[in-house]
Amino acid sequence: MSAATITQPDTTATEAAPTTTSGDTAPGLREGAFGNARCLSCRECGHEVELGPHYACPECFGPLEVAYDFPAVTREEIEAGPRNIWRYKALLPVPTDIEQSPNTEPGFTRLLQAHNLGRELGLDKLWVKDDSTNPTNSFKDRVVACALSAATELHAKVFACPSTGNLANAVAAAGARAGIKTVVFIPSNLEKPKQVNSAVYTDRLVAVDGNYDDVNKLASEIAGEEEGWAFVNVNVRPFYAEGSKTLGYEIAEQLGWRLPDQVVIPVASGSQLTKVHKAFRELVDLGLVEDKPVKIFGAQATGCSPVSSAYKSGTDAIRPVKPDTIAKSLAIGNPADGIYVLDICRETGGAVEDITDDEVRQGILLLARTEGIFTETAGGTTVGVLKKLVETGQLDTSLETVVINTGMGLKTLDAVADEVGPAATIKPTYAAFTDAGIV
């Protein structure tokens, strides 16, 4: 894809919008549009491409990733920043004045020590990174904020995505706030609450008869045909994906600038897991935390577990599957970053594990009843996998562990609606209450 697909030729360049001729960025972009990012670099062959709406290596079709020239960054500078992801703007592909652009200001969510859940599972030191409190109640607000910045700098006219639900919510909300036209595509069988959570922000919600992989294919086709569209997870994916690094930065900062020993992360495309790992490495390289081994674990639902299957069978090849699980936000049958998840989990001494839909439901209830956090099916998957990793001895219970809750239970109420409810329905009398034997 050429840069021209998004960037409109700037025939009226003014002093207010200087264009760069340095060769680092596509024509028509202002200086510093991507902060300290230097170029896009191929994850497979290392080939470098100028910063722009590119996502596949022209040499080998491998995925492109943002590469940087980081300046010296101190803990104090970060701590003096805003209480959202822009405190890490020096480490993201965004301009230094990013706070000035209207955005949803996601991030800096709570890291809670989970004494009760830890005791229940036999873990000495357990933390929950709770991303359900982001502006649209999932971690997707982080990645979308970075994609919005790239779309803005590339002069995109339309902000769009194929989505399993949460991404559409985040894109629709961020687009509304930024005043850019949004078009979001979802599988037509998506949970009603997730549909409503997009449709309130945009009247261009498109339900597609097909699964996520079908929706994704359609998005790639539109991105190739239409001018000026920024598909957050397609043609600006390298910029989008970097937003997930902020989860890793925050975990380290909130632990008092140190890394945990083990992290359990849900896997859909696998992007988040690879970026949390990248974030930890960057913090070590920048001297912001001490180096130490961190085991990374991936969580999937059995009904869509291509990465876990490959991990267990000891192969490097991910065999795509047709998803069939209540964990719809994780239901990507052909995960783009699956092979990198395998590499990272194997190299760090972690694992990839999967659990049944019933265990997903139990995972939701376990977190709710031990920590007062209502997670969606993705978090139920992650907590359920954490439990299974302990029970199967794959996770070291003496090590400090962080489990990431990426979403909010109110979006997937149906998953547990039949499991819970009133203990009794009684007449409004004291006698009726005592008769019911509730306490």
Question: Within 13 Å of residue 229, how many CA atoms lie on the same side as its CB?
Answer: 20
65-68's contacts with Cβ under 8 Å and 24+ in sequence apart are 65/40, 65/41, 65/238, 65/241, 66/34, 66/37, 66/40, 66/41, 66/93, 66/238, 66/239, 66/242, 67/37, 67/38, 67/39, 67/40, 67/41, 68/36, 68/37, 68/38, 68/93
Q: Closest Cα partner for 134 from 394, 320, 438, 404? A: 404
* Residue 283 phi, psi (nearest 5): -60, -40
**Partner whose binding site includes residue 267, from ligand PLP, Zn ion, none (CB under 5 to 8 Å by kind):** ligand PLP
Residue 326 Cβ, how far from ligand PLP at the closest point, in Å?
Answer: 13
**Partner whose binding site includes residue 59, from Zn ion, ligand PLP, none (CB under 5 to 8 Å by kind):** Zn ion
CA 87 – CA 48 distance, rounded (Å): 28
Q: Of 305 and 329, which CB lies nearer to ligand PLP in the complex structure?
A: 329
Q: Of 271 and 302, which CB lies nearer to ligand PLP in the complex structure?
A: 271
Q: Of 26 and 92, which CB lies nearer to ligand PLP in the complex structure?
A: 92
Q: Closest Cα partner for 49 from 64, 69, 62, 70? A: 64
CA 378 – CA 381 distance, rounded (Å): 5
CA 392 – CA 428 distance, rounded (Å): 48
**Partner whose binding site includes residue 194, from ligand PLP, Zn ion, none (CB under 5 to 8 Å by kind):** none
Residue 3 Cβ, how far from ligand PLP at the closest point, in Å?
Answer: 25
Q: Of 226 and 343, which CB lies nearer to Zn ion in the complex structure?
A: 343
Q: How far is CA 161 from the centre of its chain?
A: 14
Binding site for ligand PLP (CB under 6 A): 138, 140, 166, 266-272, 329-330, 376, 378, 406-407
**Partner whose binding site includes residue 144, from ligand PLP, Zn ion, none (CB under 5 to 8 Å by kind):** none
CA angle 1, 176, 63 (to 5 degrees): 25
**Partner whose binding site includes residue 42, from Zn ion, ligand PLP, none (CB under 5 to 8 Å by kind):** Zn ion
Residue 345 Cβ, how far from Zn ion at the closest point, in Å?
Answer: 23
Q: Of 63 and 266, which CB lies nearer to ligand PLP in the complex structure?
A: 266
Binding site for Zn ion (CB under 5 A): 42, 44-45, 47, 57, 59-60, 62
* Greatest extent of the chain over all pairs of C-alpha atoms, in Å: 82
Residue 330 Cβ, how far from ligand PLP at the closest point, in Å?
Answer: 6
Residue 439 Cβ, how far from ligand PLP at the closest point, in Å?
Answer: 35
Residue 391 Cβ, how far from ligand PLP at the closest point, in Å?
Answer: 23
Q: Of 7 and 159, which CB lies nearer to ligand PLP in the complex structure?
A: 159
Q: Note whether 132 and 375 are within 8 A (CB).
A: yes
Q: Of 57 and 265, which CB lies nearer to Zn ion in the complex structure?
A: 57
> For residue 407, what is the DSSP state?
B
**Partner whose binding site includes residue 266, from Zn ion, ligand PLP, none (CB under 5 to 8 Å by kind):** ligand PLP
Pairing of strands 205-208, 295-301: unpaired
**Partner whose binding site includes residue 44, from ligand PLP, Zn ion, none (CB under 5 to 8 Å by kind):** Zn ion
Q: Of 65 and 141, which CB lies nearer to Zn ion in the complex structure?
A: 65
CA 229 – CA 182 distance, rounded (Å): 9
Q: Of 62 and 349, which CB lies nearer to Zn ion in the complex structure?
A: 62
Residues 364, 367, 369, 374, Cα dihedral to 10°: -60
Residue 437 Cβ, how far from ligand PLP at the closest point, in Å?
Answer: 38
Residue 261 Cβ, how far from ligand PLP at the closest point, in Å?
Answer: 22
| Residues belonging to the chain | 439
Q: Note whether 338 and 275 are within 8 A (CB).
A: no
**Partner whose binding site includes residue 60, from ligand PLP, Zn ion, none (CB under 5 to 8 Å by kind):** Zn ion
**Partner whose binding site includes residue 405, from ligand PLP, Zn ion, none (CB under 5 to 8 Å by kind):** none
**Strand partners for 301:** 304, 355
Residue 267 Cβ, how far from ligand PLP at the closest point, in Å?
Answer: 5
